[in-house]
Amino acid sequence: MNQSRQGKILVVDDDLDVLSAAKLFLKRHFAQVDTLDLPDSIPDLLRENTYDVILLDMNFTKDVSSGKEGFFWLDKILGIDPSAVVVMITAYGDVELAVRAIKEGATDFTVKPWENKKLQATILSAMKLRASRLEYEKLRSWQRQVSADIDNKYQDMIGQSEPMLKLYRTIQQVATTDANVLILGENGTGKELIARAIHRNSSRSSEVFVNVDLGALSETLFESELFGHVKGAFTDAKEDRPGRFEIASGGTIFLDEIGNLSLPMQAKLLTVLQNKEVTRLGSNKIVPVDVRQIFATNMNLHQMVASNKFRQDLLYRINTIEINVPPLRERMEDIPLLAEYFLQHYVKKYQKKIRSLSESALRRMQKYHWPGNVRELQHVMERAVIMNKGFTLNAEDLFINTRPSIETESSENLVITNYNLEHIEKLVINKILKKYHGSVTRAAKELGLTRTSLYRRMEKYDL
């Protein structure tokens, strides 16, 4: 009975007596029953509401029994909502037409005058089909999302230093809750890995993890990507598509680079986070979502709030728990583990004969400041493996500069502040851009950034 009480039914028929009888009976078994005697109102009604089952009459014009009107409105309904479940209402003589309607997209038909128990059974069966269709749509979108976003090459976090052990303990504590988490850390420190670790250790681990790079979303794509759109909402919207929040419902959504959002985009995101519901672009239908929210940035959001570049109410909403990720220079004892991990991975990938890292190579790596953190170490190891022709990686195989200079202070004398972190980032970006003669594509690839993210930083640092 509980299942039947959840149904939302629409009955469309020009006979007011039929509508009254249907509503009187169905409202005892289903949560909501709406009736409509003029089919012209169907499009407006469906843009505002979602129904589990639609009961649709075959004929609306007096003394007409061709069924053409039923076919017309069936096509209209399926055009608005392809996953709609439509049960045709027909007279005994129109059964053949009803069977044809099923071939054209209807789910079932019921003959009037109907038997109440048979009508109830037909609707319950149709409701199950509707639920299956919606689940299939979600799974299909989930599969696309997984294929596009999830890369498990370096799923496991590596490190046994005290900062990392402290981080593991924090993850374990936070994962068991549904609290919003804000992950703070420099570029390349592994913020996404931490978000995935929280998800894997949570009660939602069997559900989807959706990763969104907010730094790569323009204002025009923001709503469509996060909240979804309906067919015809804009030029290229050729089908209904759920947004990342809908896809992540039941699981976890990871919103990376949240500090890059403009104030208007922040306001739209805040509304969704507060109400726990989305409205697809081009639609007025409200879709509830149940997601665990994890955020990340390399920016100082508190400083941005003070300079009116980030909403204070949004910051309060997203940072129930703050996790600060240690940069690689603060856990240098983890470098041998990380280097060995990347070595084994790239030796296998590129089918090399390298068996070990020399002590001189490890010493050189541990003297380097690593402004690009673990991501930079990964790229250094990949390049070294590709270029090496022997059995051992030596110091001279590593393309890093460990000599202190005016631009790059030695790690022993460096006092870490927000200013010099940004200063270091600016220097690194400028250096890589010069290396590739201004090619943003090649520079972004080496830095491990998207082109959009690199453009944002170039604008920020006036490069």
pLDDT average, residue stretch 354-367: 91
- Token pair in block for residue 392: 């051992």
- pLDDT for res 235: 84
CA 382 from chain center: how many Å? 29
> What percent of the chain has a predicted confidence (pLDDT) above 70?
88
- pLDDT for res 410: 41
Q: Which residue type does 283 have?
A: S
Q: How far apart (Å, rounded) are the C-alpha atoms in residues 85 and 277?
A: 24
Q: How far apart (Å, rounded) are the C-alpha atoms in residues 60 and 112?
A: 14
Q: Which of 287-301, 387-401, 440-454 has the lowest mean pLDDT?
A: 440-454
CB atoms within 10 A of CB 200: 14
- pLDDT for res 418: 44
- pLDDT for res 68: 81
Band the pLDDT of 176: cuts 50, 70, 90: very high
Band the pLDDT of 169: cuts 50, 70, 90: very high
Domains 4-132 and 150-324 alike in fold: yes
- pLDDT for res 288: 94
Highest mean pLDDT out of 30-34, 102-106, 139-143, 236-240 = 30-34
The answer on pLDDT for 397 being more than 50 is yes
What tens digit of pLDDT does each residue of 255-303 get? 999 999 999 999 999 999 999 999 999 999 999 999 999 999 999 999 9
Mean pLDDT of the chain: 85
Q: How far apart (Å, rounded) are the C-alpha atoms in residues 383 and 385?
A: 6
Reported as half-sphere exposure (CB side, CA atoms, 13 A), residue 132 has a value of: 8
- pLDDT for res 413: 42
- pLDDT for res 140: 64
Band the pLDDT of 414: cuts 50, 70, 90: very low
- Token pair in block for residue 145: 């999302």
DSSP β-bridge partners for residue 252:
209, 292
Residues in the chain: 463
CATH (residue range 4-132): 3.40.50.2300
Pairing outcome for strands 108-111 and 286-288:
unpaired
- pLDDT for res 183: 97
Q: Which residue type does 74 have?
A: L
In 3D space, the residue among 410, 435, 437, 436 whose CA is nearest the CA of residue 424 turns out to be 410
- Every domain of the chain and the residues it spans: 4-132, 150-324, 328-460
The answer on pLDDT for 63 being more than 70 is no
- More confidently predicted of 398 and 67: 398
- pLDDT for res 79: 85
Prior bond of 113 cis (ω within 30°) = yes
Three-state secondary structure of 131-179 = HHHHHHHHHHHHHHHHHHHCCCCCCCCCCCCHHHHHHHHHHHHHHCCCC
DSSP β-bridge partners for residue 213:
256
What tens digit of pLDDT does each residue of 213-264 get? 998 888 888 999 999 999 888 888 888 889 999 999 999 999 999 999 999 9
Q: Which residue type does 3 have?
A: Q
Its CATH class, for the domain covering 328-460, is mainly alpha
- pLDDT for res 3: 46
* DSSP 8-class letter at 281: B
Q: Which of 39-43, 45-49, 260-264, 321-325 has the lowest mean pLDDT?
A: 45-49
User: For the CA atoms of 306, 309, 314, 320, what is the dihedral angle to 10 degrees?
Assistant: -50
CATH (residue range 150-324): 3.40.50.300
Q: Which residue type does 128 have?
A: K
- Token pair in block for residue 351: 């089918």
Q: Which segments of 367-448 are extended strands (E)?
A: 392-393
- pLDDT for res 379: 94
User: For the CA atoms of 118, 121, 127, 129, what is the dihedral angle to 10 degrees?
Assistant: -100
Q: Please check whether residue 312 is in contact with residue 305, taking contact to mean a CB–CB distance below 8 angstroms.
A: yes
- Token pair in block for residue 81: 């909502």
- Token pair in block for residue 344: 């084994």
What tens digit of pLDDT does each residue of 91-137 get? 765 677 777 888 888 888 888 888 899 899 999 999 988 888 777 77
- pLDDT for res 264: 94
- Token pair in block for residue 309: 């570049």
- Token pair in block for residue 94: 């129109």
* DSSP 8-class letter at 83: T
Band the pLDDT of 406: cuts 50, 70, 90: very low
Q: How far apart (Å, rounded) are the C-alpha atoms in residues 206 and 111?
A: 44
The answer on pLDDT for 411 being more than 80 is no
The answer on pLDDT for 388 being more than 70 is yes
The answer on pLDDT for 82 being more than 70 is yes
